[in-house]
Structure 1
Amino acid sequence: MTTLLAVVLVLIAFLVAFATLLALGLVGRWRASGLRQTVLTERGTITFLFENETLVDVTTSARDLLATAPKRGSDWSRLSGLLEPRFPGLDDWIFELADLGEMERQSNDETSLLHAEWHDGIARITLSSLGVGDNTAATDQYTVAALNRELETLRAATERTPFPIWEEDEGGAVTWCNSAYLDLLSDLHDNAGHGWPPTRIFDIPDTDGDDFGSQTARVAVSAAGDESRHWFEVHVQPNGSGRLCTATPTDDLVKAETSLNEFVTTLSKTFAALPIGIAIFNRSRELAMFNPALVDLMTLPVDFLISKPTLASFLDRLREMQMMPEPKDYKSWRQRVSDLVAEARNGTYEDKWTLPGGQTYRVTGRPHPDGAVAFLFEDISTEIELARKHRAEIETAQATLDAMPAAVAVFSTAGVLTLSNAQYATIWASGGAGDLTDLSIYDSIEHWRNASAPSGVWDEIRATVGHAGVREPCKANITLLDGRALTCRVAPLPRGFTLIEFAQLRLNDGTAEVPEDVALQRGDNRLLGVGS
C-alpha cells in the first residue's frame, strides 16, 4: 500500500511540473506573438524587433530607414550607427533595457522619440516623430542625417588625402578636385589663381584610343621655368559621363628605377668587356645569361647559346667541339657532369682543362642566388706557357750551378739560404749537418767553423751578410779538417744578397793542393816539392 502511494505521488508531481512548463511556454509564445501582432498593427510606424543583435521583424518604414545604413556589421550595429548622431551613447543606453523592461528618450534636437520595450529576450524599438503625425517625415530626417554623415566622412577623407584627386568631364575639364590638387597646382603655377574650373595639371595619354576606360599612366609635370620633373602614377576610372582620377607621387620610385637601369647598363658593359667567358645557368639548369667572351673562347654558335640549352647539352657541345678534355667513357662523363654541378653549387669547383689544340682553360664554378650556378672560363694558356718557361729557366740555372766545380751558396739580407749547388752539399754535408738548405747564415758559419781549421774569415762573413752599408768583396784560404784546402770568396750581390764561393786550391799540374802538415803525415813528397 505504501509503495503504491509513493508511485501515485511521483506521477502527480511529474504532471504538475509538465503542466507548469507548458503554461510558461504558452505564455512566452503568447507574449512574443503579442509583440509581433503589435508590429503588424503598427505597419505605419518605425518599429524594429530584435533578438540580441539580430532583426526578427520590422515594419515597412523601419526597413526603408535601415536600408540607408551601410551594409556592414550586425543588424543592431547598422541601426545604432544610423541613430547615433541624434541619440548619442545609444549602445550604453540600450544595455539597461533588459533590467528596466521599458525605456524611452528624446533625440538631442528634441524632434524624435525612441521607445524601447523588453519581453522575454525580444526588444521592441519604436522611433516616432514629436509633433508630426506622419512618420514618413521622421524616416526622411534620419535618411538625410545618415546621408549627411556619410557626405561629411567622404569630404573629410578626400580633403585629408595627401595626393591629388579630381574629376574630369568628357572634354577633359576639371569639374571637382581636392585640396591636394589645388596645392600642387599652386606649387607648379604661381599665378594660377583660385578661379574655377582649375587648370588641368596632368596630360593623361590615351590608351588604345579609349578616352574614358580604366587606365594607369606615369606622367611627369614641371613647374614653370624649372627643368626638374615630378613624376606621378595616374589612375583613371570611369565615373558617369566623366572620369575620376588619382595621382600618386612616384619620384623616389623613378629615381630608384633610373639608378637601377644605369647600374644594369654599367654592369652589362663591364660584363661584355670581360675577357673571361661567363655562363650562368638558372635553377632548372638552363643557360640564362652569357657574355661575348664565352663565344670567343669556346667557339660556340650564338644561335645555340640563345636557344637556352641545358647544362648537359652545353657540355655535350663542348665535348663534341673538343673544347674540353675528352672523357674515358660516357658513363664517367655523365658522372663528371653531376660532380661538376654539385661542386659548382657548393662553390668548390675549379679545374684546368688542357685541350687538344694546346690551350689551357681555368674553369671555375660559383653558386648564384635562387639556386643558379655560374661557370667562368679563363684562357690561361699564356700564363701556363710563361710558368713553364720560367720553370725551365730555373732548372737550367740550377743545372748550370750544379755543373760548376766550386761550391756556391747565396744568402738573403735576412741570412736565409736562397740558392746553392750540388758541390756545396758535397763539400759541407760531410759534417753531419743534415739538410743544409734549412740552415741560416749563422748556423752555416758555425757548421763551417766546426768543419775547418781556425780562421778569421768566418767573422768577416758574419759582418758582411745583411750589412746595410757599402760592402766590399773579400777572399781567404781555409783548410778543412780532412786536409783539403779551399779558397773562400765573398761577393756582395744586389738587393742585399751575398754570394759565398768555396773553391779547391789547385797546383800547376791540376791536382788539389794539400797543406804541408797533411802532406808529411801522408808521406807525399811530390806535394812537398821533393823529388822522387
Structure 2
Amino acid sequence: MDTDRFLPLLIGLMLAAWTLAAAWTIVLARTRQKRAEMQLRSARRLARMVEESPALPLLVRSDGRIEASPRLAHWLGLDGVPQYLSELDGGDRGLPEDKLAELAEAVRRTQKSAAPFRMAVTPRNSGRSLALRGHLADPQVSPGGAALVWVFDFSESEGELSRLREEAARARGDFTALVSLIEAAPMPMWFRRKDGQLQLVNHAYVAAVGAENADDVVARGIELIETVDGQSASEVARQASRQEAPIERVVSTTIDGQRRAMRVSDLPLGEDGIAGYAVDIEDMEELSRSLRAFREAQRAMLDQLSAGVAQFDMQRRLVFANQPFQRLFSLSAKTMQDPPAFERLLDAARDAGRVPEVRDFPAWRREKAAWFSASETREEAWTLPDGAHLRIVAQPVPDGGLMLILEDRTEQLRLSAMRDTLLRTRTATIDSLFESIAVFAPDGRMQIWNRRFASTWGLESEFLDTHPHIEHLLKTIAKRLTRPAEVEKVGDVVRAATLDRTEKGGRIMLADGRILEFAGVPLPDGNGLLAVLDITDSQKAEDALRESNAALLEADAIKTRFLASMSYELRTPLTSIGGFAELLDAGVGGQLDESGREYVAAILSSVAQLGEHIESLLDLSQSEAGMLPLRKESLEVMPFLREVAEERVSRLEKTGLAIDLRGDSLLRPLEADRKRLARAVGSLLDNAIAASPAGARILLQATKRKGGGLDIRIQDKGEGMDSRSLARALEGMKVSADGKSVERRQGLGLPLARQLVEAHGGTLTIQSEPGQGTLALIELP
C-alpha cells in the first residue's frame, strides 16, 4: 500500500530526471557544436593565416614524406608539392643538389636528436631567398617523430640585407682601421661618456700617463691633463658638451718626467659622449720662443750697431728701426708709434734733409721703391745737404720685405784724411827721433826706416830704398861689427818680433868702438819694430857709477867696522871710570870728606849721562846703518808706560809738572824691545817736559787703533814750533841763540826716537803749532 503510494512519485522523479538529463544533453551538444564550429572557423582562420603568413610550414615525416602548402611549391618553382623530400630537386627548378643534401642531413639530425637547425637556400632559376628554421614537430602535429621546417621568404629584404651587410662589413673595416689608426696615433686620444668619465684611451695616452694598459687608465680614471685654474679635464669636457662646441686650449703637463706644452681639444659628439686629443706642441713652442728670443736678440744687437738698420715687411711698412737709423733719419718717437710706409719715410727724410737733393724727387722715390722687387742687393752712396756721407745697402728678403742698412761714412772719410796727415806726421816724427828706427814686415822685408838708422849702421840711402830683406841687410852690416858673427843677434830679434810676436833685445859693438843696444817690439799690425840706440856714452857713465858704488860699499863696510870699534872703545874707558868712582864712593881708597863725596857723585852722574849719550849715539848710528839689533819681548802697555813716566818723577817735581797717564781697556800685549822703545818714548817725554811751562800737565795716552795696532800720544801745552823749526828738530838741528844760524841740538832726541820707532815697524808723527803745543804720535803695528 505504501509502495503503491510512492510509485507514481518515483516514476515522476525518474521522468523529471530523464527530462533534465535530456535537456542537459541537448545543451551540452549545442555547446559542443558551437565549440566545434568555433574551432573549425579558428582552424580555417589559422590555416588561412598560415597561408597568408610570410613563413610556410614543411612537415617531413620519418619516412621522408612531406606535407606542405602549394604556396611553398610555388616558392620553390615546382608545379606541385612532391610526396618526398628528395623530390624537391626538380632538375632546373627546386632546391639545388647541395642544399637539398644539406637540408636532408639537417632534418635527419633533428629527427634523431631534436636539434634545431637554420639554413638559407635559393631555388634554381629563382630570385627568391628562403630561410629555413627546423625543429622537431610537436606530437600533436605529427606523433611519428616528424621534423617541422618553417620556410621564410626574405627575398624583398635580401638586397637590403646584402647592402646592409656590405655596409656593415665596410663600416667594420672602417671602424677597425679607425681604431687601429687611433691606437697607432702618436698623440694621446680619448673618449668620454656624457658624464665626463673616461671610456676609451689609445696607446699613446697609456704611455703618456705611465699606466699598464688602457683598462687600468679607465678603471682608475687617470687624467693626462692636470687641473688648470680650478678646472679639471673632465669639467672642461662637460663644458664643451653643454656648449655643444669644441673647446681648444694650450696647457702644460708632465710626460715622461718632462713638462710639455700640449694643445688639447675636446669635441662634443652629441649624446654619444665627448672625444678628445692632445697634440704635443712643445717643439713648436720652443721654436716660437727661440724665434722670439732670436728676434729680440737680433734687434737688441742691431740697436748696439753703429750702422742704422731698418726692416720693412711685404706691405712696405716699417716694422723695426734701430737707434742709429732713427737718429740718421731724424725719426721721432711719435713717428715710431705709427711706423710709416717706405715712400712716406722718404718724404719725411726729405723734409728733414736726410736724403740727397735731386731734381725729380717722385721719380727718384719710385726708383728706390723698386728695391723691394730687386733680385740682388743694391748699394749706393748718398751725399746729404749738410755734407754728411751715407752708404746705403738695400737687401731684399725672401718674404717680400726689405732690409735697409745705413752707414754714416762722414767720420770715416774724415779719418781717412786724418790718416794721410798722420802718415806724413809719422814719417817726419820717425825721422826726427834720436833712436834708429826700422820696421820689418812678417816676410822679413824692411818697410819703414829713419835717417838715423842709415847713419848709425853706415848704410846708403839707395840701398835702403830697395826695401832689402833682413838677410841681405845683415850681410851688409856684418862688415861694420867688431865680431861679424854677432850679426845673427840682430836677425834673431827681428824674427822674434815679426814671427814669434815677442820682445827681445841685445847689445852689439861696432868696429869703430861704438856700443849699440837694440830691441825688437811686435807691432799691432803684424810688423816688427827694430829700435837701435847708441849707448856708448851711457855705458861709460854706467861703468863709472859701478866703480863709485863699489867705493860706497867699501866705505859702508869701513863704517860698520868703525861702529863696532867705537862701541868697544867708548864703553870700556867709561865703564872703568864708573867702576873706580863707585870704589871711591864705597871708601875702598879711604874715607872721603864731604867735598870728595860730592866730586865722586858728580863723576857718577856724568858717567851715567855720558853712557846714555853713547847708547843713543850708537843706536842712532846702527839704525841709520840698518844694523840695530832688537831683543823683542811681550810688554804690557800700561805698566810699561808707567815705568817710563816714573823714571822722570824727580824732574817733574822740580819743574812742577804732572803727567796724565791714560789708556784704553783690554790693550793687547806689545812685542817690542823694552829698552829701546823706552828710550824712544822717554826721549819724546823729555822734550815735552822741557817745552812745558811750570804747572802744566803732559798727556801720555795709549789707544787701540781700528783694524789693529797701538797708538801712543805724548802731548804738551808748550810754545810749539812752526813747520821749519819742526823739520830742523826732526833732523837734530835747532836755530842758534842769535837766530842767524842753525846748530846741532844737544842730544839726539827726535831723530833717535824716529829711528827707534821705525826699527819696530812703526811711524812717528810730530804735529806742532806756535802757541798750541806739540803732539807726538807713535803708531805701532
TM-score, with length taken from structure 2: 0.37
Q: Which of 488, 494, 501 is the aligned partner of 1:463?
A: 488
- CA drift of 1:340 comes to 9.0
- CA drift of 1:138 comes to 4.6
Q: Secondary structure at the match of 1:466?
A: helix
Q: Secondary structure at the match of 1:370?
A: coil
- CA drift of 1:442 comes to 4.0
Q: Which of 360, 365, 371 is the aligned partner of 1:330?
A: 360
- CA drift of 1:278 comes to 1.9
Instruction: State the match for 1:314 in structure 2.
Output: 345
2:178 aligned with 1:149 = no
Instruction: State the match for 2:285 in structure 1.
Output: 257
2:120 aligned with 1:112 = yes
Q: For 1:20-419, list aligned pairs within 5 A.
A: 111-113=119-121, 126-131=127-132, 132-135=151-154, 136=156, 138=158, 142=162, 145-146=165-166, 149-150=169-170, 152-153=172-173, 155-157=175-177, 159-160=179-180, 161-162=182-183, 163-169=188-194, 172-174=195-197, 176-177=199-200, 183=206, 187=210, 202-203=233-234, 205=236, 211-218=242-249, 220=251, 222=253, 228=259, 231-239=262-270, 241=271, 243-247=273-277, 249-251=278-280, 253-273=281-301, 274-276=303-305, 277-283=308-314, 285-305=316-336, 307-324=338-355, 326-330=356-360, 334=364, 338=368, 341=371, 345-347=375-377, 349=379, 351=381, 362-378=391-407, 389=418, 391-401=420-430, 409-411=438-440, 415-419=444-448
The CA distance in 1 between the partners of 2:214 and 2:171, in whole Å, is 32
- CA drift of 1:268 comes to 0.9
Q: Which of 395, 420, 425 is the aligned partner of 2:449?
A: 420
Structure 2 gap ranges (5+): 1-53, 55-95, 103-116, 133-150, 225-232, 494-503, 522-527, 535-781
Q: Is the contact between residue 410 and residue 497 of structure 1 (CA under 8 Å) also seen in structure 2?
A: yes
Q: Secondary structure at the match of 2:405?
A: strand
Q: Which of 492, 495, 507 is the aligned partner of 2:518?
A: 492
Q: Is the contact between residue 396 and residue 402 of structure 2 (CA under 8 Å) also seen in structure 1?
A: yes
The CA distance in 1 between the partners of 2:374 and 2:486, in whole Å, is 55
Q: Is the contact between residue 104 and residue 116 of structure 1 (CA under 8 Å) also seen in structure 2?
A: no
Q: For 1:492-511, list aligned pairs within 5 A.
A: 492-495=518-521, 497-499=529-531
The CA distance in 2 between the partners of 1:360 and 1:150, in whole Å, is 77
The CA distance in 2 between the partners of 1:143 and 1:336, in whole Å, is 70
The CA distance in 2 between the partners of 1:445 and 1:196, in whole Å, is 96
Instruction: State the match for 1:37 in structure 2.
Output: none
Q: 1:494 to 1:331 in 2, by over 3 A?
A: same
Q: 1:360 to 1:159 in 2, by over 3 A?
A: same
- CA drift of 1:266 comes to 4.4
Structure whose alpha-carbon radius of gyration is higher: 2
Q: Is the contact between residue 445 and residue 458 of structure 1 (CA under 8 Å) also seen in structure 2?
A: no
The CA distance in 1 between the partners of 2:203 and 2:348, in whole Å, is 63
The CA distance in 2 between the partners of 1:494 and 1:186, in whole Å, is 73
Which structure: greater helix fraction? 2
Q: Secondary structure at the match of 1:289?
A: strand
Instruction: State the match for 2:14 in structure 1.
Output: none
The CA distance in 2 between the partners of 1:332 and 1:489, in whole Å, is 76
Count of residue pairs the alignment pairs up:
372
Stretch deviating more after TM superposition (380-389 or 254-263): 380-389
Q: Is the contact between residue 105 and residue 115 of structure 1 (CA under 8 Å) also seen in structure 2?
A: no
Q: Secondary structure at the match of 1:313?
A: helix
Letter in 1 for 2:153: D
- CA drift of 1:350 comes to 6.5
Q: Is the contact between residue 221 and residue 229 of structure 1 (CA under 8 Å) also seen in structure 2?
A: yes
Identity of aligned residues (%): 15
The CA distance in 1 between the partners of 2:387 and 2:452, in whole Å, is 39
The CA distance in 2 between the partners of 1:421 and 1:342, in whole Å, is 56
Q: Is the contact between residue 192 and residue 199 of structure 2 (CA under 8 Å) also seen in structure 1?
A: yes
The CA distance in 2 between the partners of 1:127 and 1:455, in whole Å, is 134
The CA distance in 1 between the partners of 2:362 and 2:484, in whole Å, is 65
The CA distance in 2 between the partners of 1:285 and 1:266, in whole Å, is 22
Q: Is the contact between residue 190 and residue 205 of structure 2 (CA under 8 Å) also seen in structure 1?
A: no
- CA drift of 1:348 comes to 5.6
Q: Secondary structure at the match of 2:310?
A: strand
- CA drift of 1:401 comes to 4.3
The CA distance in 1 between the partners of 2:466 and 2:238, in whole Å, is 84
Stretch deviating more after TM superposition (219-228 or 284-293): 219-228
- CA drift of 1:279 comes to 1.0
Letter in 2 for 1:166: F
Q: Is the contact between residue 441 and residue 462 of structure 1 (CA under 8 Å) also seen in structure 2?
A: no
Letter in 2 for 1:134: D
The CA distance in 2 between the partners of 1:191 and 1:262, in whole Å, is 36
Q: Is the contact between residue 122 and residue 128 of structure 2 (CA under 8 Å) also seen in structure 1?
A: yes
Q: Secondary structure at the match of 1:126?
A: coil
Structure 1 gap ranges (5+): 1-43, 45-102, 118-124, 478-486, 503-532
- CA drift of 1:417 comes to 1.4
Q: Is the contact between residue 482 and residue 511 of structure 2 (CA under 8 Å) also seen in structure 1?
A: yes
- CA drift of 1:168 comes to 3.9
Q: Deviations over 1:315-361 (max 9, x none)?
A: 3433332334x34533698289549938985236265x565667665
Q: Is the contact between residue 372 and residue 396 of structure 2 (CA under 8 Å) also seen in structure 1?
A: no
Q: 1:300 to 1:357 in 2, by over 3 A?
A: same
Q: 1:415 to 1:338 in 2, by over 3 A?
A: same
Structure ranking higher on relative contact order (CA contacts 8 Å, 6+ apart): 1
Q: Deviations over 1:452-511 (max 9, x none)?
A: xx855895795353224642155567xxxxxxxxx9996524426335799xxxxxxxxx
- CA drift of 1:111 comes to 2.9
Q: 1:445 to 1:196 in 2, by over 3 A?
A: closer
TM-score, with length taken from structure 1: 0.51
The CA distance in 1 between the partners of 2:366 and 2:451, in whole Å, is 45
Q: 1:406 to 1:346 in 2, by over 3 A?
A: same
Letter in 2 for 1:472: R
Q: Which of 440, 444, 447 is the aligned partner of 2:469?
A: 440
Q: Is the contact between residue 345 and residue 365 of structure 1 (CA under 8 Å) also seen in structure 2?
A: no
Q: Is the contact between residue 112 and residue 127 of structure 1 (CA under 8 Å) also seen in structure 2?
A: no
Q: Let me know the Cα RMSD of the aligned residues.
A: 5.6
Letter in 1 for 2:196: A
Q: 1:400 to 1:322 in 2, by over 3 A?
A: same
Q: Secondary structure at the match of 2:426?
A: helix
Stretch deviating more after TM superposition (466-475 or 418-427): 418-427
The CA distance in 1 between the partners of 2:296 and 2:328, in whole Å, is 19
Q: 1:300 to 1:312 in 2, by over 3 A?
A: same
The CA distance in 2 between the partners of 1:390 and 1:299, in whole Å, is 30
